[in-house]
Amino acid sequence: MPPPLPPRVAAAVAATVADLVAAGTSGVVLLGSQSRGDAHEHSDVDLVALGSGPEYMHRQLGGLLMSVSWRTADAVRASFADPKLAGSTVPGWRAAVILHDAHGTANELSAEAGAWRWSDIEGPRVAWIAGQMTGRAEVVQRLVGSLAAGRRTSAAVTRNRLATRLPVVAAVHHRILYDSEHRLFDLVADAMGPSWRRSQDAALGLRGEQLADSCRAALGLYAQLAPVVEPYLNAEQLAVVRSAAELAWATQHAA
């Protein structure tokens, strides 16, 4: 159990829950850093209201940013079945603090999250990884082309697409659950190994890398992940991914 909420957070949460109940929600849960007990002074307060309402809503209350999302129970369950979302949604609901639960639905969802296993979505997991790697082949080609043409802005934006999205693919491959996006990159680096960590750090510019070097490092992430996920690919996908990986590797080592 997390420690009690600080008084100003508790007051803002109570006021927001009261408003949500008045608006018709059947349940309210607290997620994120406040539910885990590791919030800092600039952390927002993440609440999910069960029912139909705005997908995202923000309010400033008591000096705190309150982030409220309305979700139906079916939508929450759909996120458990989505390979891209499950890695963060499942642990979030496992650690959720239930604040209001008129019909017991929030408790049911928390229990379902507790019983959830990656094996429950093995088919979708494999298909999602294959689709992501095949789709990212186009991003690899775009980044190589932008580098060659000296299009710095395009290269930087495209680099970011690889550097921030490939770790999610790697996380799904390794069946990683992460209760915070802040931990995702370190958990993936631990699973993928030192070479991945070096490329990831460089792609994110953590050591002040020049644009071209950070772009080549992002290409290196694709080149490293491609052979790992080959068992998930059909013949057509394999040809696409191998070609992109060869291009990424060649460009990475051309300097």
For residues 82, 88, 91 and 97, what is the CA-based torsion angle, rounded to 10 degrees?
A: -110
Q: What is the assigned CATH class of domain 7-116? A: alpha beta
Task: Give CA–CA dist 69/52, Å, rounded.
Answer: 10
Regarding pTM above 0.95, the answer is no
| Domain residue ranges of the chain, discontinuous segments joined by + | 7-116, 120-252
Strand order in the sheet with 97-101: 57-61, 64-71, 45-50, 27-31, 97-101
pLDDT of residue 155: 98
Question: For residue 89, what pLDDT is reported?
Answer: 95
> Which burial class, exposed, middle or buried, applies to 35 when counting CB atoms under 10 A from its CB (0-12, 13-18, 19+)?
buried
What are the respective helix, strand and coil percentages of the chain, to the nearest 5? Answer: 65, 10, 25
- pLDDT tens sequence across 48-97: 999 998 888 999 988 889 899 999 999 999 999 999 999 999 999 999 99
Q: How do residues 175-189 score in pLDDT, each as one tens digit?
A: 999 988 889 999 999
User: Which residues does residue 47 pair with via DSSP β-bridges, in sequence order?
Assistant: 30, 68
Query: Residues of the chain whose pLDDT is less than 50?
Result: none
Residue 25 has what pLDDT? 95
| Helix 211-229 / helix 235-252 crossing angle, nearest 10 deg | 150
